[in-house]
Protein backbone atom coordinates (compact mmCIF):
# COMPACT_ATOMS: atom_id res chain seq x y z
CA UNK A 1 0.00 0.00 0.00
CA UNK A 2 0.97 3.65 -0.23
CA UNK A 3 1.63 5.57 2.98
CA UNK A 4 2.69 9.13 3.79
CA UNK A 5 5.83 8.97 5.90
CA UNK A 6 7.99 11.41 7.80
CA UNK A 7 11.56 11.48 6.46
CA UNK A 8 13.34 14.45 8.03
CA UNK A 9 12.31 17.91 9.22
CA UNK A 10 10.65 19.57 6.22
CA UNK A 11 10.30 16.33 4.26
CA UNK A 12 7.45 13.85 3.95
CA UNK A 13 7.29 11.17 1.27
CA UNK A 14 4.75 8.72 -0.13
CA UNK A 15 6.25 5.27 0.11
CA UNK A 16 5.25 1.67 -0.45
CA UNK A 17 4.59 -0.39 2.67
CA UNK A 18 3.07 -3.82 3.34
CA UNK A 19 -0.67 -3.86 4.03
CA UNK A 20 -1.35 -4.04 7.78
CA UNK A 21 -3.08 -7.13 9.20
CA UNK A 22 -4.95 -7.42 12.50
CA UNK A 23 -2.24 -8.34 14.99
CA UNK A 24 -3.93 -8.49 18.40
CA UNK A 25 -7.40 -9.12 19.79
CA UNK A 26 -9.56 -6.03 19.31
CA UNK A 27 -7.72 -4.83 16.19
CA UNK A 28 -9.40 -3.79 12.94
CA UNK A 29 -7.95 -2.78 9.59
CA UNK A 30 -9.62 0.11 7.80
CA UNK A 31 -9.28 0.91 4.09
CA UNK A 32 -8.96 4.68 4.24
CA UNK A 33 -11.18 6.73 1.89
CA UNK A 34 -10.40 10.19 3.30
CA UNK A 35 -7.52 11.38 5.51
CA UNK A 36 -7.18 14.91 6.87
CA UNK A 37 -4.00 16.96 7.04
CA UNK A 38 -3.96 18.76 10.40
CA UNK A 39 -2.03 21.51 12.15
CA UNK A 40 -0.40 18.92 14.38
CA UNK A 41 0.91 17.19 11.23
CA UNK A 42 2.80 20.42 10.53
CA UNK A 43 4.46 20.16 13.97
CA UNK A 44 5.70 16.76 12.83
CA UNK A 45 6.74 18.09 9.41
CA UNK A 46 8.85 20.78 11.05
CA UNK A 47 10.41 18.38 13.54
CA UNK A 48 8.79 19.99 16.58
CA UNK A 49 7.16 16.67 17.44
CA UNK A 50 9.74 13.89 17.05
CA UNK A 51 8.76 11.03 14.75
CA UNK A 52 11.01 8.27 13.41
CA UNK A 53 12.14 8.33 9.77
CA UNK A 54 9.72 6.23 7.70
CA UNK A 55 6.91 6.42 10.26
CA UNK A 56 3.44 6.75 8.69
CA UNK A 57 1.77 9.98 9.79
CA UNK A 58 -1.85 11.22 9.84
CA UNK A 59 -4.56 10.79 12.47
CA UNK A 60 -7.87 11.96 10.93
CA UNK A 61 -9.63 9.36 8.82
CA UNK A 62 -12.79 7.88 7.42
CA UNK A 63 -12.88 4.53 5.65
CA UNK A 64 -14.28 1.03 5.41
CA UNK A 65 -13.52 -1.84 7.77
CA UNK A 66 -11.85 -4.65 5.81
CA UNK A 67 -10.79 -7.02 8.60
CA UNK A 68 -11.35 -7.47 12.32
CA UNK A 69 -9.62 -9.64 14.93
CA UNK A 70 -11.30 -11.58 17.73
CA UNK A 71 -13.12 -9.49 20.27
CA UNK A 72 -14.36 -6.75 17.93
CA UNK A 73 -18.14 -6.55 18.29
CA UNK A 74 -19.22 -3.01 17.40
CA UNK A 75 -17.91 -2.82 13.83
CA UNK A 76 -17.58 -5.43 11.08
CA UNK A 77 -16.09 -5.68 7.59
CA UNK A 78 -17.99 -3.48 5.17
CA UNK A 79 -18.91 -0.84 7.77
CA UNK A 80 -18.11 2.77 6.91
CA UNK A 81 -16.33 4.17 9.96
CA UNK A 82 -14.39 7.13 11.27
CA UNK A 83 -11.73 7.09 13.97
CA UNK A 84 -10.69 9.03 17.03
CA UNK A 85 -7.16 10.41 16.66
CA UNK A 86 -6.37 8.93 20.04
CA UNK A 87 -7.07 5.46 21.45
CA UNK A 88 -7.91 4.38 24.99
CA UNK A 89 -8.01 0.99 26.72
CA UNK A 90 -11.45 1.34 28.30
CA UNK A 91 -10.36 -0.39 31.51
CA UNK A 92 -7.79 1.68 33.41
CA UNK A 93 -8.35 4.03 36.38
CA UNK A 94 -9.00 6.99 34.05
CA UNK A 95 -11.12 5.17 31.46
CA UNK A 96 -13.31 3.80 34.27
CA UNK A 97 -14.07 7.44 35.16
CA UNK A 98 -14.75 8.45 31.56
CA UNK A 99 -11.47 10.40 31.46
CA UNK A 100 -10.43 8.63 28.26
CA UNK A 101 -8.02 11.43 27.33
CA UNK A 102 -5.81 10.37 30.21
CA UNK A 103 -5.86 6.62 29.56
CA UNK A 104 -2.61 5.08 30.82
CA UNK A 105 -2.37 3.16 27.52
CA UNK A 106 -3.08 6.17 25.28
CA UNK A 107 -1.81 5.94 21.70
CA UNK A 108 -2.06 8.66 19.05
CA UNK A 109 -2.12 7.73 15.37
CA UNK A 110 0.87 8.89 13.37
CA UNK A 111 2.83 10.59 16.16
CA UNK A 112 5.80 8.23 16.46
CA UNK A 113 7.17 6.07 19.26
CA UNK A 114 6.82 8.81 21.85
CA UNK A 115 3.02 8.83 21.42
CA UNK A 116 2.33 5.10 21.55
CA UNK A 117 4.10 3.86 18.41
CA UNK A 118 0.92 3.71 16.31
CA UNK A 119 1.32 4.04 12.53
CA UNK A 120 -0.79 6.79 10.99
CA UNK A 121 -3.84 7.00 8.77
CA UNK A 122 -2.53 8.89 5.73
CA UNK A 123 -2.27 5.57 3.93
CA UNK A 124 -4.36 3.18 1.89
CA UNK A 125 -4.96 1.16 5.05
CA UNK A 126 -4.59 1.74 8.77
CA UNK A 127 -4.36 -0.73 11.64
CA UNK A 128 -6.74 0.33 14.42
CA UNK A 129 -6.21 -1.04 17.94
CA UNK A 130 -9.14 -1.48 20.31
CA UNK A 131 -11.51 -0.87 17.40
CA UNK A 132 -14.64 -1.00 19.55
CA UNK A 133 -13.41 2.12 21.35
CA UNK A 134 -11.56 3.87 18.54
CA UNK A 135 -14.03 3.55 15.63
CA UNK A 136 -17.62 4.66 15.11
CA UNK A 137 -19.92 3.78 12.22
CA UNK A 138 -20.56 6.85 10.05
CA UNK A 139 -24.27 7.69 9.75
CA UNK A 140 -25.68 7.36 6.23
CA UNK A 141 -25.59 10.57 4.27
CA UNK A 142 -22.64 12.04 6.18
CA UNK A 143 -19.69 12.81 3.89
CA UNK A 144 -16.35 11.12 4.54
CA UNK A 145 -14.75 14.58 4.67
CA UNK A 146 -17.08 15.86 7.34
CA UNK A 147 -17.09 12.66 9.41
CA UNK A 148 -13.34 12.93 9.99
CA UNK A 149 -13.90 16.13 11.97
CA UNK A 150 -15.74 14.12 14.66
CA UNK A 151 -12.61 12.41 15.96
CA UNK A 152 -10.46 15.53 16.22
CA UNK A 153 -11.11 19.12 15.12
CA UNK A 154 -14.85 19.56 15.70
CA UNK A 155 -14.59 17.35 18.74
CA UNK A 156 -12.06 19.79 20.21
CA UNK A 157 -14.30 22.78 19.41
CA UNK A 158 -17.23 21.10 21.14
CA UNK A 159 -15.00 20.12 24.08
CA UNK A 160 -13.98 23.76 24.57
CA UNK A 161 -17.58 24.95 24.57
CA UNK A 162 -18.73 22.21 26.93
CA UNK A 163 -15.81 22.53 29.33
CA UNK A 164 -16.43 26.29 29.56
CA UNK A 165 -20.14 25.57 30.05
CA UNK A 166 -21.39 27.91 27.34
CA UNK A 167 -25.09 28.45 28.04
CA UNK A 168 -27.95 29.99 26.04
CA UNK A 169 -27.62 33.78 25.92
CA UNK A 170 -23.91 33.81 26.76
CA UNK A 171 -21.33 36.02 25.14
CA UNK A 172 -18.17 34.22 24.00
CA UNK A 173 -14.82 35.53 22.73
CA UNK A 174 -12.83 33.02 20.69
CA UNK A 175 -9.18 33.75 19.93
CA UNK A 176 -7.71 32.08 16.86
CA UNK A 177 -9.77 31.24 13.78
CA UNK A 178 -7.81 28.19 12.75
CA UNK A 179 -9.88 25.05 12.12
CA UNK A 180 -10.46 24.41 15.83
CA UNK A 181 -11.42 28.02 16.58
CA UNK A 182 -13.86 28.06 13.65
CA UNK A 183 -15.40 24.80 14.88
CA UNK A 184 -15.66 26.35 18.36
CA UNK A 185 -17.61 29.25 16.81
CA UNK A 186 -20.15 26.77 15.42
CA UNK A 187 -20.28 24.83 18.67
CA UNK A 188 -20.77 28.00 20.73
CA UNK A 189 -23.60 29.18 18.50
CA UNK A 190 -25.14 25.72 18.64
CA UNK A 191 -24.96 25.83 22.46
CA UNK A 192 -27.04 29.00 22.33
CA UNK A 193 -24.40 31.71 22.68
CA UNK A 194 -26.02 34.98 21.64
CA UNK A 195 -22.84 36.90 20.90
CA UNK A 196 -19.70 35.21 19.61
CA UNK A 197 -16.72 37.46 18.93
CA UNK A 198 -14.14 35.84 16.67
CA UNK A 199 -10.61 37.28 16.94
CA UNK A 200 -7.93 36.69 14.31
CA UNK A 201 -5.65 38.63 11.95
CA UNK A 202 -6.49 36.74 8.73
CA UNK A 203 -9.35 38.27 6.71
CA UNK A 204 -10.53 35.02 5.07
CA UNK A 205 -10.78 33.31 8.41
CA UNK A 206 -12.69 36.20 9.95
CA UNK A 207 -15.06 36.12 7.00
CA UNK A 208 -15.71 32.42 7.50
CA UNK A 209 -16.32 33.04 11.21
CA UNK A 210 -18.87 35.66 10.21
CA UNK A 211 -20.71 33.14 8.00
CA UNK A 212 -20.79 30.81 11.04
CA UNK A 213 -22.59 33.49 13.05
CA UNK A 214 -19.73 35.29 14.78
CA UNK A 215 -18.85 38.98 14.94
CA UNK A 216 -15.40 39.22 13.35
CA UNK A 217 -12.78 41.24 15.25
CA UNK A 218 -9.46 41.96 13.59
CA UNK A 219 -6.63 41.41 16.06
CA UNK A 220 -4.47 44.34 14.92
CA UNK A 221 -6.68 46.60 12.80
CA UNK A 222 -9.29 46.77 15.55
CA UNK A 223 -8.95 46.90 19.33
CA UNK A 224 -10.26 43.53 20.56
CA UNK A 225 -10.71 44.77 24.14
CA UNK A 226 -12.73 47.76 22.99
CA UNK A 227 -14.83 45.62 20.64
CA UNK A 228 -15.57 43.08 23.36
CA UNK A 229 -16.54 45.84 25.79
CA UNK A 230 -18.79 47.40 23.19
CA UNK A 231 -20.75 44.15 22.80
CA UNK A 232 -20.90 43.23 26.50
CA UNK A 233 -21.94 46.45 28.26
CA UNK A 234 -18.31 46.96 29.21
CA UNK A 235 -18.03 43.72 31.20
CA UNK A 236 -16.15 41.34 28.93
CA UNK A 237 -17.51 38.05 27.65
CA UNK A 238 -19.01 35.35 29.86
CA UNK A 239 -16.65 32.86 28.23
CA UNK A 240 -13.22 33.11 26.62
CA UNK A 241 -11.80 30.38 24.39
CA UNK A 242 -8.09 30.51 23.56
CA UNK A 243 -7.42 28.44 20.44
CA UNK A 244 -3.96 29.71 19.52
CA UNK A 245 -1.44 28.41 22.04
CA UNK A 246 0.76 31.50 22.48
CA UNK A 247 1.41 33.54 25.64
CA UNK A 248 0.01 36.67 23.96
CA UNK A 249 -3.25 34.95 23.01
CA UNK A 250 -3.65 33.53 26.49
CA UNK A 251 -3.06 36.94 28.06
CA UNK A 252 -5.59 38.58 25.75
CA UNK A 253 -8.14 35.83 26.44
CA UNK A 254 -7.80 36.47 30.19
CA UNK A 255 -8.38 40.19 29.58
CA UNK A 256 -11.41 39.69 27.29
CA UNK A 257 -13.24 37.41 29.72
CA UNK A 258 -15.46 39.08 32.33
CA UNK A 259 -15.05 38.81 36.10
CA UNK A 260 -16.25 35.43 37.42
CA UNK A 261 -16.26 34.16 33.84
CA UNK A 262 -15.00 30.90 32.35
CA UNK A 263 -11.94 30.46 30.18
CA UNK A 264 -11.16 27.37 28.07
CA UNK A 265 -7.54 27.12 26.92
CA UNK A 266 -7.43 24.63 24.05
CA UNK A 267 -4.45 26.13 22.21
CA UNK A 268 -1.48 23.78 22.59
CA UNK A 269 1.17 25.33 24.84
CA UNK A 270 4.40 23.44 24.32
CA UNK A 271 6.55 25.67 26.52
CA UNK A 272 6.38 27.33 29.92
CA UNK A 273 4.50 30.61 29.69
CA UNK A 274 3.99 33.50 32.07
CA UNK A 275 0.40 33.95 33.19
CA UNK A 276 -0.84 37.04 35.02
CA UNK A 277 -2.04 35.10 38.03
CA UNK A 278 -2.99 38.25 39.88
CA UNK A 279 -5.39 39.17 37.13
CA UNK A 280 -6.86 35.66 37.02
CA UNK A 281 -7.25 35.82 40.81
CA UNK A 282 -8.81 39.25 40.78
CA UNK A 283 -11.27 38.23 38.10
CA UNK A 284 -12.07 34.86 39.74
CA UNK A 285 -11.83 33.12 36.41
CA UNK A 286 -12.53 29.42 36.12
CA UNK A 287 -9.99 27.96 33.70
CA UNK A 288 -10.29 24.64 31.91
CA UNK A 289 -7.61 23.29 29.62
CA UNK A 290 -6.06 20.24 28.01
CA UNK A 291 -6.60 17.75 25.24
CA UNK A 292 -10.17 17.08 24.18
CA UNK A 293 -11.74 14.03 25.78
CA UNK A 294 -12.48 12.81 22.27
CA UNK A 295 -14.07 9.48 23.12
CA UNK A 296 -16.46 11.06 25.63
CA UNK A 297 -17.94 13.36 22.96
CA UNK A 298 -17.45 11.22 19.85
CA UNK A 299 -21.03 9.92 19.47
CA UNK A 300 -22.61 13.31 20.20
CA UNK A 301 -20.41 15.14 17.74
CA UNK A 302 -21.05 12.57 15.00
CA UNK A 303 -24.80 12.88 15.58
CA UNK A 304 -24.64 16.70 15.40
CA UNK A 305 -22.66 16.47 12.15
CA UNK A 306 -25.11 13.94 10.69
CA UNK A 307 -28.02 16.21 11.59
CA UNK A 308 -26.29 19.15 9.93
CA UNK A 309 -26.40 21.12 13.19
CA UNK A 310 -22.63 21.45 13.01
CA UNK A 311 -21.16 21.71 9.53
CA UNK A 312 -17.41 22.12 9.07
CA UNK A 313 -17.59 21.33 5.33
CA UNK A 314 -16.60 24.91 4.33
CA UNK A 315 -13.21 24.27 5.99
CA UNK A 316 -12.40 21.55 3.46
CA UNK A 317 -10.96 23.79 0.78
CA UNK A 318 -8.84 21.29 -1.06
CA UNK A 319 -8.68 17.59 -1.97
CA UNK A 320 -5.58 15.89 -3.28
CA UNK A 321 -4.77 12.26 -4.04
CA UNK A 322 -2.68 10.60 -1.34
CA UNK A 323 0.10 10.23 -3.91
CA UNK A 324 0.40 14.04 -3.90
CA UNK A 325 0.86 14.30 -0.13
CA UNK A 326 4.09 16.29 -0.53
CA UNK A 327 2.19 19.00 -2.37
CA UNK A 328 -0.62 18.84 0.20
CA UNK A 329 1.82 19.41 3.07
CA UNK A 330 3.52 22.26 1.22
CA UNK A 331 0.17 23.92 0.52
CA UNK A 332 -1.03 23.42 4.09
CA UNK A 333 2.23 24.83 5.39
CA UNK A 334 1.60 27.91 3.22
CA UNK A 335 -1.86 28.16 4.86
CA UNK A 336 -3.60 27.81 1.52
CA UNK A 337 -6.49 25.85 3.03
CA UNK A 338 -8.09 25.38 6.44
CA UNK A 339 -8.33 21.64 5.86
CA UNK A 340 -6.87 19.51 3.09
CA UNK A 341 -8.26 16.02 2.62
CA UNK A 342 -6.10 13.32 1.04
CA UNK A 343 -7.85 10.66 -1.01
CA UNK A 344 -6.07 7.30 -1.17
CA UNK A 345 -6.15 5.28 -4.36
CA UNK A 346 -6.07 8.42 -6.49
ZN1 LIG B 1 -5.89 16.64 13.65
ZN1 LIG C 1 -7.52 3.41 29.73
pLDDT in tens, 22-79: 999 999 999 999 999 999 999 999 999 999 999 999 999 999 999 999 999 999 999 9
How many Å apart are CA 128 and CA 121, to the nearest integer?
9
Specify whether 147 is located in the same domain as 176. no
CATH number at 60 reads 3.90.180.10
User: What proportion of the chain, given as a percentage, has pLDDT over 90?
Assistant: 99
Question: Which residues lie closer than 8 Å to 2 by C-beta, 6 or more apart?
Answer: 14, 15, 16, 17, 123, 124, 322, 323, 344
Q: For residue 133, how far is its CA from the centre of ligand 2 (angstroms)?
A: 10
pLDDT tens column, 304-334: 999 999 999 999 999 999 999 999 999 999 9
- Find the mean pLDDT for residues 122-137: 98
Ligand 2: centre distance to CA 159 (Å)? 19
Does 346 or 146 have the greater pLDDT score? 146
Do 265 and 313 lie in one domain? The reply is: no
> Does 239 score more than 80 pLDDT?
yes
Closest ligand to 58 CA? 1
Ligand nearest to the CA of 91: 2
Note the ligand closest to the C-alpha atom of 151: 1
The CA 118 to ligand 2 mean position distance, Å, reads 16
Report residues near ion ligand 2: CB below 5 Å.
88-89, 92, 95, 103
Distances in Å between the Cα of 209 and the Cα atoms of 94, 147, 183 are 35, 20, 9
Nearest C-alpha neighbor of 241 from the set 232, 252, 230, 233 = 252
DSSP state of 109: B
Contacts 24+ apart (CB under 8 A), 253-257: 253/173, 253/175, 254/279, 254/280, 254/283, 254/285, 255/225, 255/279, 256/173, 256/175, 256/197, 256/199, 256/224, 256/225, 256/228, 257/173, 257/283, 257/285
Ligand with an atom nearest the CA of residue 35: 1
pLDDT per residue as tens digits for the range 5-25: 999 999 999 999 999 999 999
Give the span between the Cα atoms of 143 and 120, in whole angstroms.
21
- Please tell me the distance between residue 200's alpha carbon and the centre of ligand 2 in angstroms: 37
How many whole angstroms from 127 Cα to the centroid of ligand 1?
18
- What is the CA(320)–ligand 2 centre distance, in A? 35
Structural Rg of the chain based on CA atoms: 20
Which of 266, 289, 312 marks a domain boundary? 289
> 108 and 116 in contact (C-beta within 8 Å)?
yes
Does 270 share its domain with 308? no
Residue 106 sits in the same domain as residue 94: yes
Instruction: Tell me how far the alpha carbon of residue 147 lies from the centroid of ligand 1, in angstroms.
Output: 13
Task: Indicate if 184 and 275 belong to the same structural domain.
Answer: yes
The confidence score (pLDDT) of residue 270 equals 85
Looking at the structure of the chain, the number of domains it has is 2
How many angstroms separate the CA atoms of 312 and 130, rounded? 27
**pLDDT at residue 72 in the model:** 98
Residue 190 phi, psi (nearest 5): -65, -35
Ligand that lies nearest to the alpha carbon of residue 61, given by its number in the listed order:
1
Residues 24 and 129 in one domain: yes
Whole-angstrom CA distances from 138 to 47, 150, 294, 303 are 33, 10, 16, 9
Give the DSSP per-residue string, 33-51.
Answer: EEEEE-HHHHHHHTTSS--
**Once rounded to an integer, what is the mean pLDDT over residues 221-225?**
98
Q: How far is the CA of 113 from the centre of ligand 2 (A)?
A: 18
In terms of residue numbers, what domain contains 222? 157-289
Q: What does the alpha-carbon distance between residue 38 and residue 339 come to, in Å, rounded to a whole number?
A: 7
Q: Which ligand is nearest to the CA of 130?
A: 2
Note the pLDDT of residue 38. 96
For residue 5, the SS3 value is strand
Whether the Cβ atoms of residue 81 and residue 137 lie closer than 8 Å to each other: yes
Residue 346 predicted with pLDDT over 80: no
d(CA 61, CA 153): 12
Q: What is the mean pLDDT of residues 78-99?
A: 98
Query: Mapping DSSP to helix (H, G, I), strand (E, B) and coil, where does residue 261 land?
Result: strand
Check pLDDT > 80 for residue 176: yes
Nearest residue to 254 via CA among 220, 226, 282:
282
Can you tell me the mean pLDDT for 109-132? 98
* Alpha carbon of 59 to ligand 2 centroid (Å): 19
In the reported structure, the alpha carbon of residue 23 is separated from the centroid of ligand 2 by a whole-number distance in angstroms of 20
Q: Residue 249's domain is classified under what CATH number?
A: 3.40.50.720
Ligand nearest to the CA of 93: 2
Contact 58, 41 (CB under 8 A): yes
Rounded distance from Cα 61 to ligand 1 centre (Å): 10
Which residues are CB-contacts of 78 (< 8 A; sequence separation ≥ 6)? 64, 65
- How far is ligand 2, taken at its centre, from the CA of residue 103, in Å? 4
Q: How large is the average pLDDT for residues 273-278?
A: 95
306 Cα–ligand 2 center, Å: 28
Tell me: do 111 and 15 sit in the same domain: yes
Kindly identify the ligand whose nearest atom is closest to the C-alpha of 134.
2
Ligand whose nearest atom lies closest to the CA of 107: 2
Query: Is pTM beyond 0.95 here?
Result: yes
pLDDT value for 120: 98
For residues 285 and 299, membership in a common domain is answered with: no
Q: Number of C-alpha atoms within 13 angstroms, CB side, residue 188?
A: 33
Residues 122, 172, single domain; the answer is no
pLDDT tier at 345 (50, 70, 90 boundaries)?
Answer: confident
Q: Distance from the CA of 60 to the center of ligand 1, in angstroms?
A: 6
Asked whether residue 87 falls in the same domain as residue 116, the answer is yes
Tell whether 148 and 161 lie within a shared domain.
no
Ligand closest to CA 85: 1
Are 10 and 135 members of one domain? yes
Q: For residue 319, how far is its CA from the centre of ligand 2 (angstroms)?
A: 35
Burial pattern 141-164, b for ≥16 Cβ within 10 A else e, equals ebebbbbbbbbbbbbbbbbbbbbb
Query: Can you tell me the mean pLDDT for 111-118?
Result: 97
Amino acid sequence: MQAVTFQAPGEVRVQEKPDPEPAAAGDAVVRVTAAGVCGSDLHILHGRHPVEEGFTIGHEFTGEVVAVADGVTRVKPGDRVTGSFVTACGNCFFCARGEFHHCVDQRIFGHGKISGDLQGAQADRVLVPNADMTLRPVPDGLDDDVALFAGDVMNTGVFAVRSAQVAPGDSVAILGMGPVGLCAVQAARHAGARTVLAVDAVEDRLEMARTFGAIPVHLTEQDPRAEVKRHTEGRGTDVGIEAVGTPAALDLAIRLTRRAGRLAVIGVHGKPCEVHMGLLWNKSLTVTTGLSNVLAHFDDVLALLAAGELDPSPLVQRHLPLSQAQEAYAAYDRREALKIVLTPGG
